[in-house]
Amino acid sequence: MATTSDKVKVEFELIPNWEQCPDGEEYQHRDIADVACDSQDRVYLHTRNGDRVMVYEEDGTFIKKWGDGVFGRAHGIAIHDDIVYCTDDRQSVVRVFDLDGNFQWMLGSPGQVSDTGYGFHRKPEIHHNEFVERAAGPFNTCCNVAIAANGDIFVADGYGNARIHHFDANGKLLNSWGDVGTGPGQFHLPHGIALDNDENVIVCDRENDRIQIFTRKGELLHIWTDIRRPTDVTVDKDGLIYVSELWRPLEPGQGSFVHGYADHDLPGRMTVFYPDGTIAARWGDSSENRAAPGNFIAPHGLAVDSKGNLYVAEVCCSFGGGFKRMPMEDTLDHQIQKFRRVR
């Protein structure tokens, strides 16, 4: 694990085989879309195939599951004041639950999408997000959610849209910003979202290979470009900014709107930034040994607990094995990894 800054080193060590998933088909999953921690450092996995929430102790001991039959496709999960916000990209909604999985309320209406022109009309040249013709209101295949200290909700509306939506704690839409494109403040797949310790809004502009940082009103502050395909972002109590970066394989439909097609395989990785955008740590990007413990196939979701432990969720089965980019058997034990911060 390398550091590229002259600041104090940040280092992590892998805790192998963390998830102790029970036997039985009703517990099995292929892909973990996202991960979050509650106030007691219990860990909530938003799993796919099957789509549910699975809850674990911080040592990986299974506690319970909930949400079977609820989700169209699991995507994002965030926990604020022990309220759980789950994003369903297939149904274009954000559902809100208590810690036991009791439904509270919902943003959006299942299956009702805004008119952005998004659809699969042909094979994509760069990425299927190119089919978004215009930005629009909430939601079209929304991705992830972040919650402010006062309970305000920020939603990255990405796969089928190009906007960030800001709601108050009761679900009233206050503001939206963003448009389709590669210019400042524009997006090609706003995917991950978080608030930094000053409550600025950090957005993973995934298919533009960059991070954009805004005020809560949507005013652009910074653009970070030393990054590839950012999928999720989270911030710890010290202000460190953690970003997961998705593998960009060399094949049609997997290009960058900014950089075009790479001339070599770009594996997934993790990057930790200081608040000024310099790199505190970066690791896991091996093309030859991407399935080795501690490396990454398709990192997609992140959480940091109160002790500084990092959890990385991966959609490795679908993105790696499902598309025959690598053998499925190499992906099955790679869906969630826990790293202990050692410095």
How is 264-326 classified by DSSP, letter by letter?
Answer: S-B--EEEEE-TTS-EEEEE---SSSTTSTTS-S-EEEEEE-TT--EEEEE-HIIIIIITTSS
Q: What is the dihedral of CA 117, 121, 124, 128, to 10 degrees?
A: 40
pLDDT at 2: 42
> ∠ at Cα 331 (329, 334), nearest 5°?
135
Domains and CATH numbers, the chain: 12-341 (2.120.10.30)
Range list of H helices, the chain: 316
Sheet of 32-37: strands edge to edge? Answer: 32-37, 43-47, 52-56, 62-66
**Cα–Cα distance measured from residue 201 to residue 9, given in angstroms and rounded to the nearest whole number:** 26
Q: What is the pLDDT of residue 7?
A: 77
In three-state secondary structure terms, 15 is strand
Contacts of 6 (CB under 8 A, 6+ apart): none
Cα separation, 188 vs 285, whole angstroms: 23
Burial of 105 (0-12, 13-18, 19+ CB in 10 A): exposed
Closest CA to 211 of 232, 237, 181, 240: 232
Relative to beta strand 43-47, strand 32-37 is antiparallel
Strands 310-314 and 299-304 come out as: antiparallel
Q: Side-chain half-sphere of 281: how many Cα atoms within 13 Å?
A: 20
The number of C-alpha atoms within 13 Å of 295 and in the hemisphere containing its C-beta is: 15
pLDDT number for residue 6: 64
Please state, in angstroms and rounded to a whole number, the distance separating the CA atoms of residues 42 and 24.
22
- Separation between Cα atoms, residue 249 and residue 255, nearest integer Å: 8
Do the beta carbons of residue 114 and residue 131 sit within 8 Å? no
List, for the chain, all residue ranges whose pLDDT scores fall below the cut of 50: 1-5
Is residue 89 a contact partner of residue 107, using CB atoms and an 8 Å limit? Answer: no
